[in-house]
């Protein structure tokens, strides 16, 4: 294949998949004008799925990957529960945070994935690359090292997001999340360290994809003002980013800043679906100044609880 081409896409007429020729997680694909290629599955192709196209691609690390475009039977998707059955006990609002990865309206805090060591290694390898003569063999070798470290970080983030989204759609019948100005979030100087692993658009895309599989409602709501607005009485109070507590001067309601935002997301989600606000709300279960009820969930815990369905 010419060096100028890094990917080729075949439709159904240009390929042939033979899973019988392989063993375990291996199979063979015949591409027209290339021949048989042995591949290793990342995950098996689902039953009753039809292969529509296959992309044969060379990554920046120098390795080749095969991506299958599949058409699945809609009958395999779980039916979503009737919206009239939704209440505060089976629904959740999600605040995508800065200090924490997510904060839920019912008191769960999921920590950021610890990538400090890996990001430091990436910086070291990038500095080493900058010392190499561009176009030399040593430069190309080091470029691949940098690409592998980047890929490892991206895969860790993607796997973590798979675990979190699987946990959410299994736990709740409805998940409400704010529409984000991701560009604005990441352009702020205090968020610069999170550029590598935020990927909020990817998170929401995965959440919607998993929701279709598990039969869960996912609704994006207007995110403007969720932090300022009191979840108990609706009065807005300005808060600089360094103020981490919500304290309403009107009704006296006090809680964590991100918890208040998540509660507002939940309320807006019910409004978006045209539902009345249920009587048993998270706000009513939180007493003033009581932030101890919000339980921090470590990264390892999320991986463990979400590993079965990711």
Q: Which residues fall within 8 angstroms of residue 160, CB to CB, at 6 or more apart?
A: 113, 299, 302, 303
Supply 267's token pair: 């309320």
The answer to whether 247 and 217 are in contact (CB under 8 A) is no
For residue 177, how many C-alpha atoms fall within 13 Å in the half-sphere facing its CB? Answer: 25
Q: Is 258 in the active site?
A: yes
Q: Which residues fall within 8 angstroms of residue 4, CB to CB, at 6 or more apart?
A: none
The SS3 call for residue 205 is helix
Supply 153's token pair: 């970080």
Chain position carrying tokens 């070798």: 141
The answer to whether 271 and 263 are in contact (CB under 8 A) is no
Residue of 173, 197, 229, 258 marked catalytic: 258
For residue 270, how many C-alpha atoms fall within 13 Å in the half-sphere facing its CB? Answer: 22
Where are the extended beta strands (E) located within 150-253?
A: 174-178, 217-221, 245-247
The answer to whether 168 and 207 are in contact (CB under 8 A) is yes
Length of the chain equals 310
Q: How far apart are CA 205 and CA 109, in angstroms?
A: 21
The answer to whether 255 and 301 are in contact (CB under 8 A) is no
Q: Is 24 in the active site?
A: no
Q: How far apart are CA 149 and CA 93, in angstroms?
A: 34
Residue of 125, 178, 229, 256 marked catalytic: 178
Question: Where in the sequence numbering do the catalytic residues fall?
Answer: 95, 178, 258
């Amino acid at each position: 294949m010419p060096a100028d081409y890094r990917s080729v896409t075949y439709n159904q007429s240009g390929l042939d998949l033979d899973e019988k020729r392989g063993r375990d997680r291996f199979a063979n694909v015949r591409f027209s004008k290339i021949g048989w290629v042995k591949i290793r599955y990342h995950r098996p192709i689902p039953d009753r799925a039809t292969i529509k196209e296959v992309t044969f691609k060379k990554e920046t690390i120098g390795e080749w990957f095969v991506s299958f475009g599949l058409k699945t039977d809609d009958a395999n998707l779980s039916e979503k529960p009737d919206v009239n059955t939704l209440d505060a006990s089976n629904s959740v609002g999600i605040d995508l945070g800065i200090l924490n990865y997510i904060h839920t309206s019912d008191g769960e805090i999921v920590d950021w994935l610890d990538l400090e060591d890996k990001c430091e290694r990436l910086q070291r390898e990038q500095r080493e690359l900058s010392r190499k003569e561009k176009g030399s063999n040593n430069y190309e070798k080091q470029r691949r090292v940098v690409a592998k470290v980047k890929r490892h970080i991206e895969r860790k983030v993607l796997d973590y997001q798979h675990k979190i989204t699987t946990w959410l759609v299994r736990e709740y019948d409805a998940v409400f999340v704010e529409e984000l100005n991701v560009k604005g979030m990441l352009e702020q100087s205090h968020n610069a360290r999170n550029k590598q692993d935020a990927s909020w658009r990817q998170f929401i895309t995965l959440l919607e994809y998993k929701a279709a599989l598990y039969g869960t409602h996912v609704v994006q709501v207007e995110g403007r003002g969720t932090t300022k607005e009191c979840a108990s009485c609706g009065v807005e109070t300005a808060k600089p980013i360094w103020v981490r507590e919500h304290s309403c001067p009107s009704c006296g309601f006090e809680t964590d800043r991100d918890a208040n935002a998540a509660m507002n997301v939940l309320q807006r989600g019910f409004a978006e679906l045209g539902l009345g606000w249920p009587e048993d709300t998270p706000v009513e279960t939180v007493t003033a100044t009581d932030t101890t009820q919000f339980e921090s969930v470590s990264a390892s815990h999320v991986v463990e609880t979400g590993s079965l369905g990711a």
